[in-house]
Amino acid sequence: MAKKARSRKGKRIRNIFLCLFALTALFLIFLWNMRIDVISVTGSEFYTEEEIVDFIFETPADRNFLYAWLKDRFGEKKSIPFVAGYTLTFAGVHEVEVTVYEKKVIGCIEYMGSNMYFDQDGTIVESSAEKREGVPLISGLHFDYIVLYKPLPVENETTFTQILNLTQLIARYAIDVDRIYFDSRMNATLHIGNIRVLLGSNENMEYKIAELDGMLPQLEGLSGVLHLENYDLTAMNPSYSFIQDETEEETDEAGETQADTEETEGTSTEAQQGAD
């Protein structure tokens, strides 16, 4: 009797286990067929939302809810240039929000055909064949080597400080600089569209950049050289010269004027020879 009771109890436990197994399998199959249809992206300025989605959800399997959830919890994240990391927040089985954390690059150096980007600490954080808009290119300096995830290999600490100081100021004032040129004496020149800004040495650089930021709206659309290298902190009403480039029309007019002058001079000479 006891043996039959134990047998019935064993069957019940086995049946319960089989039912739980079947329900779990059905639930997993249900989840496996759940597709993520809505993906939103926040925190990305360098890449578009579509580009981020293509990076993370590269294959059809990546859009499966169960696979994406397991991969996010236990797998490795996708490696994306200029992105330090990202998180996925699942709002149900059909919707996910991607939060992107970008690397804060403030400058770029060309080295052996690649663009080497560095952050606010001067550490090389990315190497790419692509030139990122809004990040100034540093030129005029020579580097024997550059190592990814290592600081800029400059000759001395002063040079390192000057580069970081200027690039950090440009980033702080959100000035769209195309290129920063340093000469052999570390005098800096900014290239902003068709405007060249002579900044000179690192002295009073923060005030120079603040002055530049206030002047740029007045220089919009112009082409020429702005002289800020002799910035005077003590001046009550400072005035800094902007020498505008000659336009083609002005060059043509100057050429015509010179030709007219030469023609007049030639006529006068002929008249003089006739008189003689």
Cα–Cα distances (Å) from 94 to 57, 65, 178, 210, 219, in that order, read: 14, 7, 42, 49, 51
**Least confidently predicted of 143-152, 239-248, 256-265:** 256-265
Residues 110 and 93 both lie in one domain: no
Domain presence at residue 257: no
Do 47 and 70 lie in a common domain?
yes
Instruction: Give 241-253 pLDDT, tens digit per residue.
Output: 899 998 655 545 5
pLDDT of residue 60: 86
Percent with pLDDT over 70 in the chain: 77
Number of domains in the chain: 2
Which one of 102, 131, 156 terminates a domain? 102
SS3 sequence of the chain: CHHHHHHHHHHHHHHHHHHHHHHHHHHHHHHHCCECCEEEEECCCCCCHHHHHHHHCCCHHHHEHHHHHHHHHHCCCCCCCCEEEEEEEECCCCEEEEEEEECCEEEEEEECCEEEEEECCCEEEEEECCCCCCCCEEECCCCCCCCCCCECCCCCHHHHHHHHHHHHHHHHCCCCCCEEEECCCCCEEEEECCEEEEEECCCCHHHHHHHHHHHHHHHCCCCEEEECCCCCCCCCCCCCCEEECCCHHHHHHHHHHHHHHHHHHHHHHHHHHHHC
Whole-angstrom distance, CA of residue 227 vs CA of residue 243 = 8
Task: Identify whether 114 is part of a domain.
Answer: yes
CA distances from 92 to 25, 27, 53, 97 (A): 20, 15, 18, 11
pLDDT of residue 176: 94
184 or 25, greater pLDDT: 184
State the pLDDT confidence band at 178, using cuts at 50, 70 and 90: very high
Average pLDDT of the chain, as a whole number: 82
The reported pLDDT for the residue numbered 23 is 58
Mean of pLDDT values over 94-120: 92
- pLDDT classification of 225: cutoffs 50, 70, 90: very high
In terms of domains, do 167 and 230 share one? yes
Average pLDDT for residues 210-226, to the nearest whole number? 94
Q: What CA–CA distance (Å, rounded) separates 15 from 20?
A: 9
What pLDDT was estimated at residue 25? 59
**Is 265 contained in some domain?**
no
For 82, what's the count of Cα atoms within 13 Å in the CB-facing half-sphere?
23
pLDDT at 30 over 60: no
Q: Lowest-pLDDT range, 66-70, 136-140, 255-259?
A: 255-259
Q: Tell me: do 113 and 211 sit in the same domain.
A: yes
Residue 88, pLDDT score: 95
Backbone angles phi, psi at 176, to 5 degrees: -85, 90
> 255 pLDDT band (50/70/90 cuts)?
very low
Check pLDDT > 80 for residue 265: no
pLDDT in tens, 187-202: 999 999 999 999 999 9
pLDDT of residue 267: 38
Rounded to an integer, the average pLDDT of 1-7 is: 56
40-56 tens-digit pLDDT = 999 998 889 999 999 99
Per-residue pLDDT band for 21 (boundaries 50, 70, 90) equals low
**How far is the C-alpha of 197 from the C-alpha of 227, rounded, in Å?**
6
In sign, the C-alpha dihedral spanning 58, 60, 66, 71 is: negative
Q: What pLDDT is recorded for position 270? A: 40
Interacting residues of 210 by C-beta distance below 8 A, sequence separation 6+: 173
Same domain, 148 and 66: no
- Residue-range definition of the domain harbouring residue 180: 106-244
pLDDT band at 2 (very low <50, low <70, confident <90, very high): low
Residue 258 pLDDT > 50: no
Query: What is the Cα–Cα distance from 158 to 140, expressed in whole angstroms?
Result: 16
pLDDT at 19: 63
Confirm whether 48 is domain-assigned. Answer: yes
Question: Is 213 a member of any domain?
Answer: yes
Out of 59, 76, 102, pick the residue that ends a domain.
Answer: 102
